[in-house]
């Protein structure tokens, strides 16, 4: 009889493309059979065979408070008992919009949506509708969802499979997207000097998390703000991942840069599908029904999802929350670096807030090109060894990792013990 995970994966592949509903989950980059999870609590997951794992994926970011936090579960249960959906206004939508505008410095008006892809798609449509221009600037290795015009040299799963662009994206659509090198302010200035009057907006992960974790170089985000202001283009911060992870007010609060539009997701849903786009009042007033930029969604502002998000944000705001998760991430990174050094392996790590990056190279990368210099085969061996020892990392060398408030010293200690053996096997 097959192990339960293998049995489920075989069944899934018979009816679901590659057996998964999001590409990286297929484990094709790292090999092996993905675990099929059945339950979670705090910092831990249990698969269909009853194995427990320390979770450093955190549902790709949302579970900043930990899995099945009692306050979040209680809020969801109470909301579900009232209604699963209305397709009409609710007070929870107002509460979420007020909360986001209070916490995130640049937000004046907010539209709630259901996914990060939808938020990014709406943001670039708003930028084009507001400016009357066509060109969108993005950065190689940054991922903003799977909308056509943004799947050009994207990161995340697209990098994992070696196809940074997607089939099915018309050439004429891609032609309106210009791709620059992340952290290269001189490229940005040269493009704006040459084509500034054509540029509707610049979209960027202020801390890149979809080509592993890459921090903004000093002055890079400031240069984007300066050039967009000078030429009347819209600066869009994609904070789907960084929002409430690198600081309570997001990367924009941490670095003191005020974008024109911001996309949010992940944490604001507490594990359920919620996203948002928001920003300057004059730009947001272009969205239907106030203006000509159309956007709609049947399940936008779903009351159950908003209950999870509001409960999670209340936890995130609590005194000491951000300090604790940041300290946990630092402890993990410092410990892993020490274990790698002991094993004589070229390795580096870094964290910001509750996000972290692991790299099989001597120093952390600052660009897409440097990310691609990492030893991906060695990462794959390390990943498999860690998984076998009950540590669940992202199944790709091109993804940031996450810790939660629920991770404690015992989890870090167990992770480092596993790493000591895994680095030896990955050598």
DSSP state of 56: S
Q: Report the pLDDT value the prediction gives residue 165, as an integer from 0 to 100.
A: 61
pLDDT at 183: 97
* Contact assessment for residue 239 and residue 277, using Cβ atoms and an 8 Å cutoff: no
pLDDT for residue 126: 98
**Residue 330: closest CA among 361, 363, 353, 364:** 353
Do 364 and 215 form a contact (C-beta atoms < 8 A)? yes
The string of DSSP letters for 374-400 reads: S-HHHHHHHHHHHHHTTEE--SSTT--
- The pLDDT of residue 157 is 46
d(CA 422, CA 389): 8
Residue pLDDT, tens place only, 61-82 = 999 999 999 999 999 999 999 9
Residues with a known catalytic role: 143, 238, 266
pLDDT at 368: 93
Residues of the chain with confidence (pLDDT) below 70: 152-166
Q: Which fold has domain 4-68+319-426?
A: 3.90.1150
Instruction: Write down the pLDDT at residue 190.
Output: 95
| pLDDT score at 154 | 53
How does the average pLDDT of the chain come out, rounded? Answer: 94
pLDDT tens, residue by residue, 79-129: 999 999 999 999 999 999 999 999 999 999 999 999 999 999 999 999 999
∠ CA 360-366-372 to the nearest 5 degrees? 50
CA separation for the pair 331, 110 (Å, rounded): 36
Q: State the pairing for strand pair 199-204/234-238.
A: parallel
SS3 179: strand
Structural domain spans, the chain: 4-68+319-426, 70-316
**Helix locations, 88-152, DSSP H:** 91-103, 116-131
The verdict on domain 70-316 having CATH code 3.30.70.100 is: no
């Amino acid at each position: 009889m097959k192990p339960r995970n293998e049995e489920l994966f075989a069944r899934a592949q018979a009816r679901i493309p590659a057996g998964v509903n999001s590409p990286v989950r297929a484990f094709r980059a790292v090999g092996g059979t993905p675990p099929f999870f059945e339950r979670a609590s705090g910092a831990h997951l249990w698969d269909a065979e009853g194995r427990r794992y320390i979770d450093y994926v955190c549902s790709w970011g949302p579970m900043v408070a930990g899995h099945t936090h009692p306050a979040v579960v209680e809020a969801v249960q109470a909301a579900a008992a009232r209604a699963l959906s209305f397709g009409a206004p609710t007070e929870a939508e107002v509460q979420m919009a007020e909360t986001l505008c209070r916490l995130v410095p640049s937000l004046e008006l907010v539209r709630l949506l259901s996914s990060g892809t939808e938020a990014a798609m709406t943001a670039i449509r708003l930028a084009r509708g507001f400016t009357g221009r066509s060109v969108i600037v993005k950065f190689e290795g940054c991922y903003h969802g799977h909308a056509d015009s943004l799947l050009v040299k994207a990161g995340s799963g697209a990098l994992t499979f070696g196809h940074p662009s997607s089939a099915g994206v018309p050439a004429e659509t891609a032609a309106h997207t210009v791709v620059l090198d992340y952290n290269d302010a001189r490229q940005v200035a040269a493009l704006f000097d040459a084509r500034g009057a054509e540029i509707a907006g610049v979209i960027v992960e202020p801390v890149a998390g979809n080509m592993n974790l890459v921090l903004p170089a000093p002055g890079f985000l400031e240069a984007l703000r300066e050039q967009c202001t000078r030429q009347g283009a819209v600066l869009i911060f994609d904070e789907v991942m960084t929002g409430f992870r690198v600081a309570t007010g997001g990367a924009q609060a941490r670095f003191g840069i005020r974008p024109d539009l911001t996309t949010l997701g992940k944490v604001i849903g507490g594990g359920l599908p919620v996203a948002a786009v928001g920003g300057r009042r004059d730009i947001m007033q272009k969205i239907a029904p106030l203006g000509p930029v159309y956007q709609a969604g049947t399940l936008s502002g779903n009351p159950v999802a908003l209950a999870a998000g509001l409960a999670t944000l209340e936890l995130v705001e609590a005194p000491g929350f951000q300090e604790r998760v940041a300290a946990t991430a630092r402890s993990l990174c410092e410990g892993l670096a020490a274990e790698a050094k002991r094993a004589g392996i070229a390795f580096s790590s870094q964290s910001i807030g509750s996000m972290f990056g692991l790299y099989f190279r001597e120093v952390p990368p600052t660009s897409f090109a440097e990310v691609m210099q990492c030893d991906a085969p060695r990462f794959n061996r390390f990943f498999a060894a860690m998984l076998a020892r009950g540590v669940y990392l992202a199944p790709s060398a091109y993804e940031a990792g996450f810790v939660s408030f629920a991770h404690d010293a015992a989890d870090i200690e167990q992770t480092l013990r596993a790493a000591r053996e895994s680095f030896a096997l990955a050598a």
